Structure formats: C-alpha cells, structure tokens
C-alpha cells in the first residue's frame, strides 16, 4: 500500500475541485454544546501551556519514521505532520492554504508554477530552509514507488530551484489546480538526508521530537516555528490498534483526544457531558469498486444495476450509525463544485433486474466481494451490500482479507472489492488519483476518453466559472459510467475531553493541524 493511497483516503485532504483558486465552506462540523466548546467559547481567550495526549489508530507492526515512506498508521502520519511541513495544507476558507510555501503563481499557460517559501522558515536545528531542500525532498517523494500518484503530472526533471526561496514545478499539461497536489505528502527534509538518519532528521514543523518509542511519541513546542508560536507545551501521541480501545482510554481520562474514533464510539459517548463529540462531514468515502476493464462488471449496465440495488439510507443508518450522509456515486462530495443537481440515485430493484437481464449477467454464479477491516465499518458495509443486492438476484460472497494481503493482491486487481478515501473536498484531486486512464491508482481500471479529455480541458482553464462547468461535466461522466458505487459519506468523528479547545474542524487530514489547539485548565 502506498503512502499516498493511505493518506489521501483519510485526508485523505475533503480536497476541493476549485483547489487553490476557489473558496470552500467547512460545513457543519460539531454536535451540540460540547462541539462548541472544542473551538472555544466566545468569552474564552486561548492560553499557552499544557500537554495534549492524543490517541491515534495504528499497528505496531506497521510503524514507520520515513515522511515519504509507506504509512499504514494514522498515528505515524500525525507524528510526521507535526514534525514536518508540507508546501500547502487544507484551509478553512480555501481548499489549499499556505504552509511552507507562502505563495504561488502560475505561468500564463498554467504549466509552470513558482512557489515562494515562507519567510523565516528554519529546520529544527536552526538552519534555514532553502529551495534546494524542497527540490531534493520533492524528487525523493516523486521517485518512490507511488510517486506518480503523489505528484501526478510532474516528472522529477520538472522540479527545480529558481533561487534560494523559489521552487519551480512544471506540469506535463496545463494544470490550474497544481497547488492542490502539494497538500498531503510533500514533507520537506534537509537535502541529502540519509535513509538511516530519518529517525532523527530535523523537520520544519510546529513541534520537535522529544522521544519516540514503539509507535508512541512525545513532541515539544517549536518556539522558532515560522508560522507562529504553538500554544501547547507538548503533544503526546499514543498508538491504539482499535477505535474501541482508544475510546475507552478517552472515557477513562487517559488521553485528551481520540482522533478519528468513529461513529460507534461517538454513539457510546454521546450521553457523557464531560466528553466533546466533533463531527466533520464528508470525511471518508467507502465505495464498492467494480472493475470496468474486464470481468463480470465490465458492462456499464451491470454496474448501474448494482448501484440501483443498494438501499443507501439503510447503509448510512446501519453502517455509519447515522454519522454520515447518502452519496451519489461521485467522489469528492465536500467539493464546493460538487454537482448537487445530478439526480440522487434511489433503489429500484425492478430496473436493476432488467439491466442485468439485458447485459446477460449470470445470476447463477456467486461473486466474491473482497474487503478488509482496516477501518471501522468497511467489512460491515460489504456484508450489508451483499444482503441488499441479493434481492436483485446477485449472489455475493464476502471475503475478508488481512490488510497486507488485501493491498498486495486485491487492490487495483480484483473484479469487486471495497475501498476507502478521506479528504473528499475535491472532485479533480480524486479524479487525478483514481479515474484518469493513466492514473497511478486507477482502482477500477477505467479508461474513458471523454473523461480524460474533459479533465485536461478543465485543468487548462484559468477562468474559475468555466472550470467549474467542466468539473460538472466530469461528475456527469463519473456518475454515468465509472466503476464506483459510492453509497454514503462518513463523518469524521473525534472525541475530546472537556478542557480541549481549538481543535481543527476540517475533514480528512485537516485534523492533524493542532498548532492552534489549547487546554482550558
């Protein structure tokens, strides 16, 4: 499994179609008075000091210290994000906000982008960050096995330094959304950092490493951070293998924040007045992936039939415990340019059966749906899906695989499997990752010339209004013929103690931006 695959799915950074050039609404992200407290009451003034104890999901066997490596754990990504900065980050008002890059500007043809580094940016050892450091880091990232997906459309030779503070990225094609690509994985290291020195390599982030043991870490405030002095003295990250164990630790007062703990834990904690429940809409998609290139689901009529056989309301109610919303088979539901005018698919078993018959689909066979329990609700969604589509005459056998086997043998290959994506605030970001015919993570094996052509045209359009129209066309094509059956969008759910304030409200990986979080005690 590639780092980008895992990060984007949680972040996966909603990532918005308007990208760096359009505003995005953060949406409703809390639940009740406790959620209001998480942002701080109007009469409260942020205070410095204290240690925030954060729980995050992960497995000890999958820990990593490499910012550009395979990160199967949310706990690792949280630690790395606090130690190392990316060029840009998800923003409250714009989908792409400045971070290590203070500003960026495109050429007239939208192929060449110049990123200017933030004033005063330094590594934790006090040395200034230079464009050479960024170029070396981006080339290292691009040359990883999943580099094509991490920086789509950018070749290693298209990354250069113009001067000490200017990084130049040249795209293979005009790309009005290029800054969007630099949000989640472009962690910057010092030039020529050796692989065996990564564990202690200085970063540029708001916190410095105090200690790291068995997937757990203590980070202390970086008083010299170019982005301003963080409020907390320290953040301790504790790894948990299950959401329930993490929730129990929060309820017992052992940690202050249970990050991305899920709907079941939220429902359990809802009655506790001393616990804050934060909901971040459009946080995660858990689509059924139907392979379009070949196999039993290559016929678009079969894929349409399965979409019509699903009871989406029941899926959201039962799998997400109501902590989510019905989706319409289009990735990027949190995008300001999301096509809400496309008719919502509803269950129609009669039409589903007719389409299957027209396609000559063999209803006498049983088809494997492969899943994993990497995240809460994923395997359960496969089981309920199998029950529902049986009413249309389709027999499904749910096969649960261990995580490594799933990502090595099933993902990108199997005819029918589950997937999941976070950071769902951008239609075009996910299109570039998963739906273009040459996408590095083309999960469905989709090769649709009209989609590729519309995407390239949209990316080459500087006018925001015109680009939005083209993004709408992209969604219409995706809705009609892609290999995704996206039944719902899960809310991101965090639990926090009563003293925690200033938590980020963004979906996906926006939640790792803890530099403004503080403790009211």
Residue 334 inside a domain? The answer is: yes
Residue 122 placed within a domain: no
- Output the pLDDT for position 266: 87
Domain count of the chain?
Answer: 1
DSSP characters over 471-484? HHHHHHHHHHH-SE
Spatial separation of the C-alpha atoms in residues 98 and 87, rounded to whole Å: 7
In a domain, 350, yes or no: yes
Q: Are 18 and 293 in contact (CB under 8 A)?
A: no
Q: Does an H or E element contain 159, and which?
A: strand 154-163
- Asked if residue 369 is part of any domain, the answer here is yes
**Domain boundaries, position 418:** 283-490
Cα separation, 188 vs 227, whole angstroms:
15
Asked whether residue 336 is assigned to any structural domain, the reply reads yes
Q: CB within 8 A of 184, min separation 6: which ones?
A: 4, 7, 8, 11, 12, 13, 86, 423, 509
- Distance, in Å, from the CA atom of 53 to the CA atom of 51, rounded to the nearest integer, reads 6
Residue 264 has a pLDDT of 85
> Does residue 109 lie in a domain region?
no
In a domain, 188, yes or no: no
- Look at residue 432 and tell me if it is in a domain: yes
Q: Which residues make beta-bridge pairs with 398?
A: 369
* CATH number of the domain enclosing 290: 3.10.105.10
Per-residue pLDDT of the chain in tens (521 residues, 90 and over written 9): 333 344 434 333 332 222 322 223 233 344 444 444 455 556 789 999 999 999 999 989 889 999 998 777 899 999 999 999 999 998 888 889 999 999 999 999 999 999 999 999 999 999 999 999 999 999 999 999 888 888 989 999 999 999 999 999 999 999 999 999 898 889 999 999 999 999 889 999 999 999 999 999 999 999 999 999 999 999 999 999 988 999 999 999 999 999 989 888 888 888 899 999 999 888 899 999 999 999 999 999 999 999 999 999 999 999 999 899 999 999 999 888 999 999 999 999 999 999 999 999 999 999 999 999 878 789 999 999 999 999 999 999 999 999 889 988 999 999 999 999 987 888 998 999 899 999 988 999 999 999 999 999 999 999 999 999 999 999 999 999 999 999 999 999 999 999 999 999 887 778 899 999 999 97
300 in helix, strand or coil? helix
| pLDDT of res. 123 | 98
Token code pair at residue 521: 């005690």
Q: In whole angstroms, what is the distance from residue 203 CA to residue 356 CA? A: 55
Q: How many other C-beta atoms are found inside a 10 Å radius of the C-beta of residue 143? A: 10
Which two tokens mark 487? Answer: 């039944």
Residues in contact with 189: Cβ distance below 8 Å, sequence separation at least 6, in sequence order: 67, 84, 133, 136, 137, 140, 198, 201, 203
Using the 8-state DSSP alphabet, how is residue 380 labeled?
A: H
Integer Cα distance of 416 and 456 in angstroms: 28
261, 250 Cβ separation under 8 angstroms: yes
- CA separation for the pair 147, 153 (Å, rounded): 10
Inter-residue contact 327 to 489 (CB < 8 Å): yes
């Amino acid at each position: 499994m590639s780092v980008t695959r895992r990060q984007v799915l949680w972040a996966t950074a909603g990532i918005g179609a308007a990208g760096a050039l359009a505003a995005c609404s953060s949406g409703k992200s809390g639940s009740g008075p406790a959620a209001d407290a998480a942002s701080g009451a109007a009469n409260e003034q942020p205070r410095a000091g204290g240690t925030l104890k954060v729980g995050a999901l992960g497995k000890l066997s999958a820990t990593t210290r490499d910012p550009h490596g395979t990160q199967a754990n949310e706990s690792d990504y949280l630690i790395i994000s606090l130690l190392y900065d990316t060029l840009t980050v998800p923003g409250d008002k714009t989908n792409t906000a400045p971070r290590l890059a203070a500003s960026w500007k495109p050429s007239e043809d939208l192929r060449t982008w110049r990123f200017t580094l933030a004033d005063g940016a330094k590594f934790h050892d006090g040395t200034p960050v230079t464009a050479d450091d960024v170029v070396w880091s981006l080339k290292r990232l691009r040359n990883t096995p999943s580099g094509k997906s991490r920086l789509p459309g950018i070749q290693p030779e298209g990354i250069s330094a113009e001067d000490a503070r200017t990084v130049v990225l040249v795209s293979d094609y005009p790309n009005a959304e290029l800054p969007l690509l630099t949000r989640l994985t472009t962690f910057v290291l010092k030039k020529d950092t050796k692989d065996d020195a990564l564990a202690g390599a200085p970063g540029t982030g708001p916190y410095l490493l105090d200690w790291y043991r068995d997937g757990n870490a203590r980070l202390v405030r970086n008083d010299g951070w170019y982005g301003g002095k963080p409020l907390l003295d320290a953040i301790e990250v504790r790894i948990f293998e299950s959401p329930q164990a993490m929730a129990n630790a929060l309820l017992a007062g052992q940690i202050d924040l249970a990050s991305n703990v899920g709907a079941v834990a939220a429902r359990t904690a809802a009655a506790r007045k001393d616990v804050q429940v934060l909901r971040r809409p459009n946080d995660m998609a858990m689509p059924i992936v139907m392979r379009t290139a070949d196999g039993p689901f290559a016929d678009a009529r079969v894929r349409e039939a399965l979409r019509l056989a699903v009871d989406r309301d029941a899926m959201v109610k039962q799998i997400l415990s109501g902590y989510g919303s019905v989706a319409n088979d289009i990735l990027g539901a949190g995008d300001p340019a999301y096509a809400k005018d496309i008719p919502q698919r509803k269950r129609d078993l009669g039409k589903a059966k007719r389409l299957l018959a027209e396609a000559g689909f063999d209803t006498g066979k049983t088809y494997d749906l492969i899943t994993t329990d990497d995240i809460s609700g994923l395997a359960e969604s496969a089981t309920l899906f199998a029950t529902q589509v049986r009413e249309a005459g389709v027999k499904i056998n749910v096969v649960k695989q261990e995580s490594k086997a799933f990502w090595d043998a099933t993902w990108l290959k199997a005819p029918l499997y589950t997937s999941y994506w976070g950071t769902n605030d951008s239609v075009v970001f996910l299109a570039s990752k998963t739906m273009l015919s040459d996408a590095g993570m083309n999960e469905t094996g989709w090769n649709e010339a009209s989609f590729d052509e519309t995407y390239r045209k949209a990316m080459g359009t500087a006018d925001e209004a015109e680009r939005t129209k083209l993004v709408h066309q992209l969604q219409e094509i995706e809705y009609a013929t892609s290999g995704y059956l996206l039944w719902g969008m899960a809310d991101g759910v965090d639990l926090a103690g009563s003293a925690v304030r200033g938590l980020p409200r963004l979906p996906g990986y926006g939640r790792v931006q803890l530099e403004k979080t503080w403790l009211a005690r």
